[in-house]
Amino acid sequence: MTPPPQRPEKQINLMRGWPAHSLLPAEALRAAAQKALSDPSVYQPGLEYGPDQGYQPLREALARWLSAFYSGTGAADTSSSSDGNGDGGKYSHAPDADRIVITGGASQSLACLLQSFTDPALTRRVWMLAPCYFLACPIFADAGFAGRMRAVPEDAEGVDLGFLERELRAVDAEAEVEERAEKDGERRGFKDPGPYRKIYRHVIYCVPSFANPSGKTMSLARREGLVRLAREFDALVICDDVYDQLQWPVTSPDATTLAIADEFPARLTKALLPRLIDIDLSLGPSPHDPSPPSPAHAFGHVVSNGSFSKLSGPGVRTGWTESSAALARGASQTGSTRSGGAPSQLAATVLAELLSSGGLDAHVARTLRPAYRRRHALLLVAVREHLVGPLGARVSEAVRAPSSSSSSSSVSGEDLFVYGGYFLWISFPEDGGVPPARAIAERCLAEENLVVGAGPRFEVHGDEAAVRLERDLRLCFAWEDEAALVEGVERLARVIRRMMDEGAGAGAEEADPTPGDVGQMK
C-alpha cells in the first residue's frame, strides 16, 4: 500500500448528521426561556408533571403552524372527502390540537408508538424503506422485531409499491396458515391494548421528504399508493417528517444552487407535498378500525413523527406526533408517559414561546435554509468535480415542485426544483473500478482523517441482502463548515484514486470504521 503523504491533523466528519454549532439558535432560545421562566403561569406548569398529551399551548401552536405549512399541498380539489381549509389543497386540514401529542423527539416517540401499537406476537413485520435511517433499527429490535425487519427497495420516485404489496400479501398468507394451525386458531398477543389503543398487523417506516440517508423525496402518487396499501393490510405507517421545513430551490435536478439568484420563492415557505398523515386523514374511517365505528376508535393508518431537533437543536429533545385524534390519545396512554405526563415539559414551554413569537420561523428562513442551501451547493459542486465527472458516480437529485403550485413561483420562469434535508447520497457504478464503500471509509479515516458514511451502515438490520448498498456513500452537509465540506470531498477523491491506483477496486469488504459512539453520527 502506498503510504499517503501525511494524515491531516484536523478531522473532517461528513458522517455526522448534526447541525453545525454556528446554526444553533441560542439567542432566540435564551429569549424564549427567559420569558417562559419569568412568568409563573408558564414556569409553574412547565416545572411540574404535565398532561399525558403534552403542554397544551405547544400543542395548539404546533397545530396552527403545521396546518399552515402543509395547507395547499396536493392537487386542488373541492371534493367532499376533503376537510380542506378553503385554500384549495386537496389534503389540507384545519388545525386540531387533539391530533397533536408532545414527545421527547422522533426517536423516543418511535419507541413509544411501538410500545402502544405493536405486539411482537401479532405484528407480523416491520417494513423499512432502504436505505434506512440506521438508528431506527435498534429501536425496532428493542420492541421485539429483531429478525423481522424487511427492506423495501426504492426507485427515483420512492417506495416500490409493487414489491411491498406482493410481500405483504405473501407474509399475510403465511401467517394465516400458521395461525390456523395453532391450538385454538387464534393467536394471542403479549399486550392488552385496552380501549384507547389497537395493535397493527404491520409497521411501515419511512422518511418521505429529503430522506436520511438517501436525500430522496417520495412522489405524491407513491404517497397515495403507500397509504392505500397501509389501509388494505392494516399497517401503521410511521413517517419521520423531520426535514420537511429544510428545503430550498435549485435550477434543475442536477444543477447547483449557487447558479441561481438569491431570491427565495414564497412557495417554499410551504410544504412541497402533503404528508402521508394528511392523505390518510382525508380518506376517512378505515375498515380496520375497531367496531362499532366511533371517532374514539378511528385510529387511521399513519402517524407523522415530527421533531425540533433539526429546527432548534437536537439537545432540546422535543418533538410531536400528528395523527388521528384517536391514535394521539392512545399514544399518550403509553405507560412511561402516564407516569409523569409527556416528556420534555419544560422544553415545551420554551418551544411554545419560540413558535408563537415567530422566532422559529425566522431562524428557519433567515439562517437554516440559506445556510443549508449554500452548503448543499458547495458539496454538490465538489462531488460533481471529483466523483461524478472522473468516476461516474450518481448523486441524489432535487425534485420538481408539483406543477399545480410551481407555476406562479418558478425561478426566472423556469420549473422549480427543490432539495432539502442534510444529506447527499452518492452511488458508484458497479463496474467502474471504484472500491467497495466500506473499504473506502476505512482508508479515509486511516489516511485522510475523514469520516464518511459507508452504504452498508444503512442496510436494514437482518435483511441486508435484500437491498445491498456496497457502492454507496452518505455525505452530510450540515455539520462541517463550508471550506471543510469541499476539502472533505477532495480528501475522499484522493483516497479513491490511491486505492484505484493500487488496483483495490475489487478489494474485499473491510470493517466499517466506527469512530466513537454511532449515536454521535445520526
Ligand X SMILES: Cc1ncc(COP(=O)(O)O)c(C=O)c1O
Interacting residue ranges for ligand X, rule: CB under 6 A: 17, 105-107, 133, 207, 212, 240, 242, 307, 309, 314, 319, 522
Of 510, 397, 398, 514, the residue nearest 453 (C-alpha)? 514
Residue 462 Cβ, how far from ligand X at the closest point, in Å? 19
Q: Between residues 107 and 349, which has the closer beta carbon with respect to ligand X?
A: 107
Specify the 3-state DSSP secondary structure of 390.
helix
Strand 423-427 relative to strand 450-451: parallel, antiparallel, unpaired?
unpaired
Q: What are phi and psi of 449, to 5 degrees?
A: 50, 45
Q: Between residues 133 and 428, which has the closer beta carbon with respect to ligand X?
A: 133
Q: 383 near 423, Cβ under 8 Å?
A: no
Residue 212 Cβ, how far from ligand X at the closest point, in Å? 3
Residue 134 Cβ, how far from ligand X at the closest point, in Å? 10
Q: 149 near 110, Cβ under 8 Å?
A: no
Q: Between residues 139 and 171, which has the closer beta carbon with respect to ligand X?
A: 139
Specify the 3-state DSSP secondary structure of 80.
coil
b or e along 47-56 (b: 16 or more beta carbons within 10 Å of the residue's beta carbon)? eeebbbbbbb
Q: What are phi and psi of 395, to 5 degrees?
A: -130, 145
Q: Between residues 127 and 133, which has the closer beta carbon with respect to ligand X?
A: 133
Residue 130 Cβ, how far from ligand X at the closest point, in Å? 13
For 61, 115, 354, the CA distances from 102, given in Å and listed in that order, are 11, 16, 15
Residue 435 Cβ, how far from ligand X at the closest point, in Å? 27
Q: Between residues 135 and 391, which has the closer beta carbon with respect to ligand X?
A: 135
Work out whether the CA dihedral 152, 416, 394, 13 comes out positive or negative: negative
Q: 461 near 141, Cβ under 8 Å?
A: yes
Strand 247-250 relative to strand 417-420: parallel, antiparallel, unpaired?
antiparallel
Residue 510 Cβ, how far from ligand X at the closest point, in Å? 26
Residue 4 Cβ, how far from ligand X at the closest point, in Å? 31
From the CA atom positions of the chain, what is the Rg in Å?
23
Residue 242 Cβ, how far from ligand X at the closest point, in Å? 5
Q: Between residues 112 and 437, which has the closer beta carbon with respect to ligand X?
A: 112
Residue 370 Cβ, how far from ligand X at the closest point, in Å? 21
Q: Measure the CA–CA gap between 244 and 107, rounded to whole angstroms.
A: 17
Which DSSP string corresponds to 325-385? HHHHHHHTT-HHHHTTSSS-HHHHHHHHHHHHTTHHHHIIIIIIHHHHHHHHHHHHHHHII
Q: Between residues 199 and 451, which has the closer beta carbon with respect to ligand X?
A: 451
With a CB cutoff of 8 Å and minimum separation 6, the contacts of 440 are 434, 452, 454, 473, 492, 495, 496, 499
Q: Between residues 208 and 436, which has the closer beta carbon with respect to ligand X?
A: 208
What letter represents residue 491's amino acid?
A: R
Q: Between residues 111 and 326, which has the closer beta carbon with respect to ligand X?
A: 111
Q: Measure the CA–CA gap between 357 and 32, rounded to whole angstroms.
A: 9
Residue 422 Cβ, how far from ligand X at the closest point, in Å? 7
Q: Between residues 71 and 214, which has the closer beta carbon with respect to ligand X?
A: 214
Residue 214 Cβ, how far from ligand X at the closest point, in Å? 11
Residue nearest to ligand X (CB): 105
Q: What are phi and psi of 364, to 5 degrees?
A: -65, -45
Q: Between residues 411 and 426, which has the closer beta carbon with respect to ligand X?
A: 426
Residue 8 Cβ, how far from ligand X at the closest point, in Å? 26
For 120, 305, 427, 438, the CA distances from 512, given in Å and listed in that order, are 31, 30, 17, 5
Q: Between residues 72 and 215, which has the closer beta carbon with respect to ligand X?
A: 215
Q: Measure the CA–CA gap between 283 and 83, rounded to whole angstroms.
A: 10
Q: 61 near 322, Cβ under 8 Å?
A: no
